[in-house]
Amino acid sequence: MQNINDVTANINVLLLTLPVPDDQVAGYLQSVSSNGATNLSTPKSFTIDGATGQYITYDRDIQGTPGESEDMIISHGTTTYDIVLNTSQFAFNQQQSGLLAVLTAWRWTS
């Protein structure tokens, strides 16, 4: 049964204007708390096509619906990418498997 207040999941991929140095990634990820995010996880490592980054998960309110997000920072060459999955808490595990499928197929072109 779906929650009547469920939100549509989305995956945003942002190219950051300035690269985030490796030693500042954890602080960058944790800055979401200043925008109302709660229950931030400890940063964990992940790999996309040979490049290593860090991610966290956190809770947030989405127009009255309990939401959950996964925020990933990864650099390739001189570009830093911020990849974010946003969805409701009850749909997070299902939507996260979709994100993992996208990341498994990800290939850098240069």
pLDDT tens, residue by residue, 27-64 = 999 999 998 899 999 999 999 999 999 999 999 988 78
| Residue 110 maps to a domain | no
| Residue 46 maps to a domain | yes
Residue 84's CATH number: 3.40.1000.10
Q: Would you say residue 2 has pLDDT above 90?
A: no
| Residue 55 maps to a domain | yes
3 state SS for the chain: CCCCCCCCCEEEEEECCCCCCHHHHHHHHHHHHHHCCECCCCCEEEEECCEEEEEEEEEEEECCEEEEEEEEEEEECCEEEEEEEEEEHHHHHHHHHHHHHHHHHCCCCC
| Residue 50 maps to a domain | yes
| Residue 77 maps to a domain | yes
| Residue 15 maps to a domain | yes
Query: What pLDDT band is residue 65 in, cutting at 50, 70 and 90?
Result: confident
pTM over 0.85: yes
| Residue 4 maps to a domain | no
Range of the domain at 55: 10-105
Number of domains making up the chain: 1
